[in-house]
Amino acid sequence: KIIQSNKLAIDIQANILKSLREKYNDIKDGGVRPAPFWVLVGAGMPAVLVEVGYITNPTEAKRLFNPFYQNRIAKGFADGIDSY
């Protein structure tokens, strides 16, 4: 499921970026990287791990607690799954 997981990750990441950049112009693209995360090993379907921000970054931390920002992330996530 590596190829399918990579495609899913690309679709989700692109749509989260699109959704957030409609309101926030300083969103950085962290890219999609493969890694053998323990929680994903052995998954029988496409699976991804998504990092949407870091609470140690003051700007990101403030945004992560903002319901509007959370909804933009959720919209991007859902649109990415639909794209997949």
- Prediction pTM value: 0.90
Which tokens go with 33? 């990287």
Residue partners of 45: CB distance under 8 A and separation at least 6: 1, 4
CA neighbor of 51 nearest in space, from 16, 23, 19: 16
What is the model's pLDDT at position 29?
Answer: 93
Q: How confident is the model at residue 19 (pLDDT cuts 50, 70, 90)?
A: very high
What is the model's pLDDT at position 37?
Answer: 84
What is the model's pLDDT at position 2?
Answer: 87
Q: What is the pLDDT of residues 23-81, one digit of tens each?
A: 999 999 999 998 878 888 888 999 999 999 999 999 999 999 999 999 999 999 999 99
